[in-house]
Amino acid sequence: MDLKFLQNLIVPAQTKIVMLIMDGLGGLPLERGGKTELETAHTPNLDGLAEWSALGLTVPVGPGITPGSGPGHLGIFGYDPIQYEIGRGALEALGVDLDLGPDDVAARGNFCSVDAEGLLTDRRAGRIPTGESKELAKLLRTIKIDAAEFFIEIIKEHRFAFVMRAPGLGDALTETDPWKTGAPTLPVRALDPDSEKAARLANQFIEQARELLADVQPANMIMLRGFARYPAIPTYPELFGLRAAAIAVNGMYRGVAKLVGMDPLQVDGDTVADEFTTLEENWNDFDFFYLHVKKTDTAGSDGDFLQKVRVIEKVDGLIPRLMALEPDVVIVSGDHSTPALLKSHSWHPVPTLLYSKYVRADNIAEFGERACVRGSLGLLPAKDVMPIALANAQRITRFGA
Amino acid sequence: MDLKFLQNLIVPAQTKIVMLIMDGLGGLPLERGGKTELETAHTPNLDGLAEWSALGLTVPVGPGITPGSGPGHLGIFGYDPIQYEIGRGALEALGVDLDLGPDDVAARGNFCSVDAEGLLTDRRAGRIPTGESKELAKLLRTIKIDAAEFFIEIIKEHRFAFVMRAPGLGDALTETDPWKTGAPTLPVRALDPDSEKAARLANQFIEQARELLADVQPANMIMLRGFARYPAIPTYPELFGLRAAAIAVNGMYRGVAKLVGMDPLQVDGDTVADEFTTLEENWNDFDFFYLHVKKTDTAGSDGDFLQKVRVIEKVDGLIPRLMALEPDVVIVSGDHSTPALLKSHSWHPVPTLLYSKYVRADNIAEFGERACVRGSLGLLPAKDVMPIALANAQRITRFGA
């Protein structure tokens, strides 16, 4: 079922959908016979909600595939993450709140160190402090080439996001990182005729950067990789007729949400409770809210099982504030699994709960991986959750006579 | 898995399949914690059959999609309802037993009222009685244009099915209904060059109808919409080698069945018991029987929970007559859900039972929505049921060496 097909069936309604994403929610027991993080957490509110919900497990991309944050989110947002790939450069740019448009090509940039012959001596320029790299970014921002515009934002230390803006830029471009010291940085090459202008522009930029940084130590050169245009994704307003808001503390998630046409809301503070306050304050102005909890993933990546349990319990404590708003449809899920056991994202399906007045409730009063196996949503592609949520919000009309 | 692949594996057998479709079978509890219509119904025979069946829930079209009767039936008949769409006009024509062939374009027709300037005063001509519109249909049948043939059958009141037959007719045609009074009815326009002949023909027909009806009150004009060619669908005999019969009281279901190559059988009477009698009388002449129960859907659409329960119980009482015929494979399912709570078709998956001597029985002695969640068929696209039924009927040979 493609998005065009769905789009043609969308009708307006006065209903509200909340998608609560605990990043990396899915987990694993630390030892045989044990419980996962979610199963271990004391979650009376989520369990109560589960009783009147349909439960299932979502597959973010495909069987056995571990998603990054971009594909993980696109999936649960309703898009096929294989069809709509977000290039590395674009994701980095979105992550530092750089706006991307159809005339832009983004890349991931590195400050690096080269010797007098231009041979690479340190691919990361000694991981210079962020304060220092922010000063160097100001230098790079002075570069002017024809009518093109350039945007540079430091991500952290030696890493920056790079965007060039001009009409007619392709992104079939090779990277300049030779991935070994002792070799010269490489020129950008166009892999198709449509990308030749972009290659020329990027090479000119790099040459000017080399001259500007010549006397800096140790960051006397830059490298660019992961060139990517703004991915053309049909947006929530276009596709679903939804006024959609994103509530996320971290820039990358606001960026992915913006890409699909959500309005990123200002969160005052950086706790999950602050995010719920933002939800309450903006309740009347949107039809759809994506609320992102980062710390479940952080704890999982750190291998900190108990911290992940605590974050889940904290979110559980906030569920009554969500339900007090009387949402028509609530989705609680994750963009992927991040088991503390693996200290990284994983391929495991993600426990998912869909609540509404019209859902066929499974009457399973427990939100956990193994409880969700018994649920009526079954094992389903993450992208199938949104159509079911829209149906429950009475925003899809009948197909065919 | 496409139908061509399946077709190549079909082998003949002396087995019989019965597909019992309770229209709109799936339901919802009226209140939190309650049972659905099917769960409420006392169904000892279906429960007994369920014990030795594989259970599951079918998704008619796709996640969150509410199907009309056409797509709902195509799905359970084994076709992808998105790939094989039946246009409005074709469905209406099939519903009044008009035969459709490859040279036909069908449309939904309305008698309407226009003033002296030709401006619409009533889109439905005061909903004239069916007896009156049947007389007007006779007038329209006198229209002759070149070698084309026209067929008109009254559906009810001001509504009729319209078919024009001539070689080389396309169906990319605009409707003539302006959807508001005070405006003139619109000419048919061709949206592609292949449809120009059909547009010319339709417009000539409308002009002659205007002249013929000029002195009639209030139905002095017609409008046409939903132009659709006969959808080219591979049939049951071609695809599966099945001599297939359709047992349905209502015309539209006989029509859809005819479209896929089933023979609609004459039912003497209009009760479900009469349909079972037709089944018994024709048992020796076919390999496959589709038996349609309409009143589950009617009760659901009326919001009459208890009536839907009673219809299900009535069908349950007839199951022994079905089993006495010793069918090799029995499917009990619906074309979609029609919960009384929603008073309309819905997107919810449909409880489905597949019985045969060779099925891996779930030993769940209950036929209901939540019992089916635990079944071994899982949550499956409706179109996947027929291949499994054919396998159980030993009509599919091995794939590959």
**Which residues of A, range 337-366, sit inside 8 Å of B by Cβ?**
358, 360-363
Residues 6 or more apart whose CB falls under 8 angstroms from that of A135 comprise: none
Among B159, B347, B383, most A C-beta atoms within 10 A, so best to mutate, is: B347
Contact at CB, B341 and A363, closer than 8 angstroms: no
Torsions phi, psi of B211, nearest 5? -65, -45
DSSP 3-state assignment of B112?
strand
Model confidence at B36, in pLDDT bands (50, 70, 90)? very high
A209-225: burial string, b at 16+ Cβ within 10 Å, e else: beebbeebebbbbbbbb
Among A79, A239, A360, most B C-beta atoms within 10 A, so best to mutate, is: A360
Residue A61 · residue A69 · CB < 8 Å: no
Torsions phi, psi of A211, nearest 5? -65, -45
For strands B17-22 and B120-122, give the pairing: unpaired
The CA distance from B29 to A102, in Å, is 49
- What residues in B contact A358, CB-CB < 8 Å? 28, 341-342, 346
Residue A181: the pLDDT is 95
Q: At what angle do helices B272-281 and B305-324 cross, to 10 degrees?
A: 20
Beta strands in B76-119 (DSSP E): 104-114
The sign one gets for the Cα dihedral B55, B60, B61, B62 is: negative
Residue A9 · residue A399 · CB < 8 Å: yes
For strands A120-122 and A221-229, give the pairing: unpaired
- What residues in A contact B336, CB-CB < 8 Å? none
Task: Tell me the nearest-neighbour CA distance from A112 into chain B, angstroms.
Answer: 49
Q: At what angle do helices B88-95 and B251-259 cross, to 10 degrees?
A: 110
DSSP 3-state assignment of A101?
coil
Contact at CB, B63 and A380, closer than 8 angstroms: yes
Pull the structure tokens for residue A289.
């809210």
- What residues in B contact A389, CB-CB < 8 Å? 64
Is a pLDDT exceeding 80 seen at residue B158? yes
> What mean pLDDT is predicted for residues B221-249?
94
DSSP 8-state secondary structure symbol assigned to residue B395: -
Residue A88: the pLDDT is 82
What element of type H or E holds A355? strand A350-356
Q: What distance lies between CA A110 and its chain's CA centroid?
A: 21
The CA distance from B246 to A270, in Å, is 63
Angle (CA) A153 A181 A185, round 5°: 55
Task: Tell me the nearest-neighbour CA distance from B382 into chain A, angstroms.
Answer: 14
How high is the mean pLDDT of chain B? 96
Residue B355 · residue B314 · CB < 8 Å: no
Asked if B85 has any chain A CB less than 8 Å from its own CB, the reply is: yes
> Could you tell me what percentage of chain B is helix, strand and coil, using 3-state DSSP and rounding each to the nearest 5?
35, 25, 40
The CA distance from A130 to A96, in Å, is 14
The CA distance from B386 to B310, in Å, is 28
Closest by CA position to B379, among listed B63, B21, B17 = B63
Q: Could you check whether the bond before residue B187 is cis, i.e. omega within 30 degrees of 0? A: no
Residue A252: the pLDDT is 83
Asked if A8 has any chain B CB less than 8 Å from its own CB, the reply is: no
Asked if A394 has any chain B CB less than 8 Å from its own CB, the reply is: no
The CA distance from B87 to A124, in Å, is 62
Residue B150: the pLDDT is 97
For strands A149-156 and A159-165, give the pairing: antiparallel
Residue A291: the pLDDT is 98
- What residues in B contact A384, CB-CB < 8 Å? 62-64
- What residues in A contact B33, CB-CB < 8 Å? 363
Q: Is the ipTM of this complex over 0.90?
A: no
Closest by CA position to A315, among listed A49, A69, A46 = A46
DSSP 3-state assignment of A224?
strand
The CA distance from A276 to A20, in Å, is 10
> What mean pLDDT is predicted for residues B176-181?
93
Residue of higher predicted confidence among B382 and B250: B382
Instruction: Give me the residues of chain A with pLDDT under 50, please.
Output: none
Contact at CB, A391 and B345, closer than 8 angstroms: no
**Which residues of B, range 38-57, sit inside 8 Å of A by Cβ?**
57
Residue B397: the pLDDT is 97
DSSP 8-state secondary structure symbol assigned to residue A126: G
Q: Torsion over CA of A191, A194, A200 and A203, rounded to 10 degrees?
A: -40
- What residues in B contact A360, CB-CB < 8 Å? 28, 36, 348-349, 369
The CA distance from A169 to A202, in Å, is 11
Task: Tell me the nearest-neighbour CA distance from A358 into chain B, angstroms.
Answer: 8
Pull the structure tokens for residue B145.
């244009």
Pull the structure tokens for residue B52.
């030795």
Residues 6 or more apart whose CB falls under 8 angstroms from that of B122 comprise: B112, B113, B181, B218
Model confidence at B301, in pLDDT bands (50, 70, 90)? very high
The CA distance from A292 to A255, in Å, is 12
- Domains of chain A plus CATH, in order, are 3-85+234-392 (3.40.720.10), 90-229 (no CATH)
Closest by CA position to A230, among listed A133, A151, A304, A317 = A151
pTM: 0.89
Residues 6 or more apart whose CB falls under 8 angstroms from that of A125 comprise: A110, A111, A112, A113, A158, A218, A219, A220
Q: Which residue intervals of A260-304 are DSSP H helices?
A: 272-281, 295-301
> What mean pLDDT is predicted for residues B379-396?
98
Residue B391 · residue B84 · CB < 8 Å: no
Is a pLDDT exceeding 90 seen at residue B88? no
Residue A67 · residue A370 · CB < 8 Å: no
DSSP letters of A162-198?
Answer: EEEE-TT----B--S--SSTTSBPPPP-BSSGGGHHH
Task: Tell me the nearest-neighbour CA distance from B66 into chain A, angstroms.
Answer: 5
One-letter amino acid for residue A79 of the chain:
Y
Residue A84: the pLDDT is 92
The CA distance from A294 to A259, in Å, is 19
Q: Which residue intervals of A19-167 are DSSP H helices?
A: 37-40, 44-51, 69-76, 88-95, 130-140
Task: Tell me the nearest-neighbour CA distance from A55 into chain B, angstroms.
Answer: 11
- What residues in A contact B345, CB-CB < 8 Å? 398
DSSP 3-state assignment of A24?
coil
The CA distance from B278 to B268, in Å, is 8
Contact at CB, B370 and A362, closer than 8 angstroms: yes
Residue A230: the pLDDT is 83
Residue A259 · residue A248 · CB < 8 Å: no
- What residues in A contact B69, CB-CB < 8 Å? 400-401
CA distances from B194 to B1, B68, B224 (A): 32, 29, 19
Residue A54: the pLDDT is 98
